[in-house]
Amino acid sequence: MKLKRNDRILFIGDSVTEAGRNISDDLDLGKGYPLLVGSELFRKYPDYHFSFINRGVGGNKIRDLVDRWEVDCLNLKPDIVSILIGINDTWHNIDSDIFGTEAEFENFESDYRFLLKQVLQRTDARVILIDPFVLAYPKDRSSWRKDLDPRIQIVRKMAREYQTDYIPLDALLNKTGLSYGFKFLTGEDGVHPTLAGHSFIAQEWLNNCNLN
């Protein structure tokens, strides 16, 4: 990801991105990886004039992003759009008839494609796609892989097709969890990052960046 001096950087997604932000305050970055990324870039490049926007909303699925894409992405005229979405598309479908179905994956891909087409056709923004993820604690999270893994493959496909930047976060987090413990990164639910987890995500985001 090429960073420029006056970049407006938008982080958008679900509760992993929201990370406790005050939704009524447009400038609040929350307490997670968007704040950590912004803090590090300000520290490292004090003569640059970055601006950061967090539009994570807890509980969102990809269809929710489609519904608010005009207001929470396109109208903001971002220079960089960072998208992390998909875990709720799996989580909310557990024990339903549509869990792990081809029809669901086709809908997910169609919605994701809509988001990217709108950004690329109507803005000059660079895009970074981030895998949704789940860690292997609690143990029942392993049953989620049937639904989540195909969605991750769709994100990877979109990154290749639209030539975006891409972070394989699910694999990276799970690998780190094997070394240090899954609870270290996502506490008790395998999804919502701890401070350590947010720090890891922020560092992987920053590893994909360089100045133009």
pLDDT digits 0-9 by tens, 156-190? 999 999 999 999 999 999 999 999 999 999 999 99
**pLDDT score of 100 more than 70:** yes
Residue 211's pLDDT band, with cuts at 50, 70 and 90, is low
Question: What average pLDDT does the segment 48-74 reach?
Answer: 98
Over residues 194-204, mean pLDDT: 98
Q: How far apart are CA 160 and CA 147, in angstroms?
A: 21
Does the pLDDT at position 62 exceed 70?
Answer: yes
Would you say residue 9 has pLDDT above 80? Answer: yes
Residue 196 predicted with pLDDT over 80? yes
Residue linked to tokens 């759009």: 81
Residue 212 pLDDT: 55
Region of 196 please: left (phi>0), alpha (psi -120 to 50) or beta.
alpha
Angle, alpha carbons 52-12-63 (nearest 5°): 160
Number of domains the chain is built from:
1
Using CB atoms within 10 Å of the CB of residue 119, give its burial: 0 to 12 exposed, 13 to 18 middle, 19+ buried: buried
State the average pLDDT over residues 41-47: 94
d(CA 127, CA 73): 12
pLDDT of 210 over the 90 cut: no
Write out pLDDT tens, residues 114-123. 999 999 999 9
CB 163 within 8 A of CB 129: no
pTM for this predicted structure: 0.97
Q: Is the pLDDT of residue 192 over 70?
A: yes
% of the chain residues with pLDDT over 70: 99
How many Å apart are CA 186 and CA 198, to the nearest integer? 9
Domain residue limits at 108: 2-211
CATH number at residue 18: 3.40.50.1110
Task: Kindly report, residue by residue over 14-26, the tens digit of the pLDDT.
Answer: 999 999 999 999 9
| pLDDT of 66 above 80 | yes
With a pLDDT cut of 90, the percent of the chain lying above it is 96
3-state SS, one letter per residue, for 62-96: HHHHHHHHHHHCHHHCCCEEEEECCHHHHHCCCCC
Mean pLDDT of the chain: 96
